[in-house]
């Protein structure tokens, strides 16, 4: 990769990065990137670039490969550092972008371009507090749009509503109309925060409260497992059950009743899971069900998992039609991924997961010999599986006893508090999990 004249190593020298190199030798790209991350942010930029460049070449990421080669050749050059950081952000590796971008900004403190790229990396890595601190350090020289707007956004995502409100009050109307939608979303976010603070603590364990603040979603249930061990109400891996499906639908019914929303139908999305759950929802809500039609008012659109809808023929078009709200339309998603968020954000979500197996999907169970075996998917008719949901036991799983109590009365009180600020604005995708941290698994 390098000429003799450059006298640079063809491979990294530090121990952790050598382990990453060995992962690449065996074709393990994810393992190599994990080792790079484990090497820490003080790892030599040129050696990191060697590993990342080789991984990028294997993945076919020509832009990142070229940026890494430039940095490996000149690891102290600002242009090379910025180019590598930019390429890492674009390729979904924000944690690798942060050290070189931070180094460039340290030597070019007046560069708003570098500041904004570093803030983008912090945001995509979920490090909103650091984004706030970086923006605050440069407040004297930044622009209201986008920099003060970004300061407000990151303050909200870091859980600092006081700072967010103070900075939002300083924002003038944008001169460029491209920022109008963003301004309106931010205003609604702070209005939701004001509403929800009447009913809940909004501390850094308040998953339901913050889901409503950041996305307008009312979260029906909290995971009763691992709350104190880092999950704070989210599921990691879940084998779902008809009982849990029914509990989610009953929470949806409570939400509709308390907020005064009176749907006249359930709209069925095209994937099998959504059709099953939608038929059960129609029974629970006492309304007829029919195929989804764009523009239908006073209906509950039911999805089991919106990411599954995206994989169906016509699914992306349907999701695009759900971005803008129709009067009286409620979008309910049962199992929503918080690590791979759907392109539209549902108004009501039964549970948050990293990985889920539907009740009718291929499942794992303990075999007769004590080992783990996989059972085939349940191919019974959709109406039969829907009837199994409505006949299930909705009693809450007691879990491990470490999480907070979540009785129906608490949920109903929350629904009442957000009645005036629910179902407003578009359903923009969530690009952050917000202030409530949870463990995640590779």
Please check whether residue 392 is in contact with residue 242, taking contact to mean a CB–CB distance below 8 angstroms: yes
pLDDT for residue 374: 86
Quick: pLDDT tens for 233-264. Answer: 999 999 999 999 999 999 999 999 999 999 99
Using the 8-state DSSP alphabet, how is residue 217 labeled? P
Query: Is residue 120 in a domain?
Result: yes
Instruction: Provide φ and ψ at 396, rounded to 5°.
Output: -65, 140
Mean pLDDT per 10-residue segment, the chain (442 residues): 44 87 95 94 96 97 98 97 98 97 97 98 97 98 97 98 98 96 96 94 96 98 94 96 98 98 98 98 98 98 98 97 97 97 98 97 76 88 98 93 92 96 97 94 70
Clarify whether residues 100 and 211 are in a common domain: no
106: number of CA atoms within 13 Å, CB side?
9
Q: Is-contact 28 58, C-beta < 8 A?
A: no
Quote the DSSP letter at residue 2.
Answer: -
Among 348, 358, 354, CA closest to 411? 348
Do residues 207 and 120 share a domain? no
Q: Are 256 and 285 in contact (CB under 8 A)?
A: yes
Same domain (yes/no): 214, 87: no
CA distances from 183 to 124, 125, 188, 441 (A): 20, 23, 9, 34
Give the domain extent around 216: 203-417
What's the pLDDT at 2?
38
In a domain, 30, yes or no: yes
71 neighbors 100 (Cβ within 8 angstroms): yes
- Count: domains in the chain: 2
Tell me what pLDDT residue 8 has.
44
CATH of the domain at 361: 3.40.50.2020
- Residues 113, 247 within the same domain: no
Q: Is there a single domain that holds both residue 407 and residue 310?
A: yes
Residues 344 and 243 in one domain: yes
**Residue 297 has which token pair?**
């008012």
Residue 196 located in a structural domain: no
Please indicate, yes or no, whether residues 103 and 250 belong to a single structural domain of this protein.
Answer: no
The 3-state DSSP class for residue 12 equals: coil
- pLDDT value for 252: 98
Please check whether residue 195 lies inside any domain of the structure. no
Q: Which of 82, 106, 125 is the last residue of a domain?
A: 125
User: 242 near 395, Cβ under 8 Å?
Assistant: no
Q: Residue 337's beta-bridge partner residues? A: 353
363-366 and 372-375 strand pairing: antiparallel
What are the structure tokens assigned to 84, written together? 């590598």
* Burial (Cβ within 10 Å: 0-12, 13-18, ≥19) of residue 60: exposed
Helix (H) or strand (E) holding 387: helix 382-390
pLDDT digits (tens, 9 = 90+) for 321-350: 999 999 999 999 999 999 999 999 999 999
Half-sphere exposure (CA, 13 Å, Cβ side) for 203? Answer: 3
| Structural domain includes residue 152 | no
Tell me the C-alpha to C-alpha distance, in Å, between residue 344 and each of 36, 72, 112, 216. 33, 40, 31, 12
Tell me how far apart the alpha carbons of residues 150 and 279 are, in angstroms, rounded to a whole number: 42
Instruction: Please tell me the predicted confidence (pLDDT) of residue 7.
Output: 44
Nearest of 298, 316, 359, 369 to residue 334 by alpha carbon: 359
CATH number at residue 100: 1.25.40
Closest CA to 284 of 263, 260, 253, 328: 253
CB atoms within 10 A of CB 153: 27
State whether 112 and 219 are in the same domain: no
For residue 198, the model assigns a pLDDT of 86
Contacts of residue 315, defined as CB under 8 A and 6 or more positions apart, other chains included, come to 269, 270, 271, 309
Same domain, 402 and 267: yes
User: Looking at residue 370, what is its pLDDT?
Assistant: 67
Instruction: Tell which of 101, 125, 149 closes a domain.
Output: 125
113 & 212 share domain: no
Tokens of residue 25, six digits: 């030798």
Asked if residue 185 lies in contact with residue 168, where contact means CB atoms within 8 angstroms, the answer is: no
């Amino acid at each position: 990769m390098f000429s003799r004249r450059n006298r640079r190593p063809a491979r990294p020298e530090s121990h952790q990065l050598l382990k990453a190199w060995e992962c690449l030798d065996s074709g393990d790209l994810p393992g190599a990137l994990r080792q790079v991350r484990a090497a820490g942010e003080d790892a030599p930029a040129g050696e990191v670039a060697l590993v990342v460049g080789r991984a990028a070449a294997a993945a076919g990421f020509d832009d990142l490969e070229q940026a890494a080669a430039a940095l490996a050749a000149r690891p102290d050059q600002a242009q090379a550092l910025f180019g590598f950081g930019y390429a890492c952000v674009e390729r979904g590796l924000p944690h690798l972008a942060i050290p070189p971008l931070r180094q460039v900004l340290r030597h070019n403190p007046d560069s708003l371009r570098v500041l904004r790229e570093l803030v983008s990396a912090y945001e995509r890595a979920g490090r909103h507090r650091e984004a706030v601190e970086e923006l605050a350090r440069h407040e004297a020289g930044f622009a209201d749009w986008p920099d003060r707007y970004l300061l407000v956004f990151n303050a909200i995502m870091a859980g600092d509503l006081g700072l967010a409100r103070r900075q939002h009050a300083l924002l003038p109307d944008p001169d460029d109309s491209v920022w109008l939608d963003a301004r309106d979303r931010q205003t609604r976010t702070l209005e939701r925060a004001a509403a929800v603070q009447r009913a809940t603590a909004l501390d850094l364990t308040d998953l339901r409260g913050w889901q409503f603040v950041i996305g307008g979603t009312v979260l029906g249930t909290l995971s009763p497992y691992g709350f104190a061990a880092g999950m704070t109400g989210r599921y990691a891996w879940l084998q779902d059950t008809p009982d849990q499906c029914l509990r989610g639908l009953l929470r949806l019914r409570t939400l509709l009743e308390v907020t005064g929303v009176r749907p006249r139908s359930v709209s069925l999305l095209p994937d099998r899971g959504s059709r099953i759950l939608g038929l059960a929802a129609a029974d629970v809500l006492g309304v007829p069900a029919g195929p989804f039609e764009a523009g239908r008012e006073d209906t509950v659109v039911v999805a089991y998992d919106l990411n599954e809808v995206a994989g169906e023929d016509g699914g992306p078009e349907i999701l695009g039609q759900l971005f803008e709200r129709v009067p009286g339309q409620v979008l309910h998603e049962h199992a929503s991924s918080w690590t791979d968020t759907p392109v539209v954000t549902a108004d009501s979500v039964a549970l948050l997961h990293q990985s889920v197996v539907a009740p009718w999907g291929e499942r794992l169970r303990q075999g007769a010999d004590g080992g783990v075996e996989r059972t085939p998917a349940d191919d019974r008719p959709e109406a039969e599986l829907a009837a199994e949901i409505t006949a299930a036991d909705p009693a809450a799983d007691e879990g491990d006893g470490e999480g907070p109590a979540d009785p129906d009365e608490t949920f109903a009180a929350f629904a009442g508090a957000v009645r005036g600020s629910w179902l407003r604005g578009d359903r923009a995708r969530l690009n952050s999990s917000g202030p409530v941290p949870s463990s995640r698994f590779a």
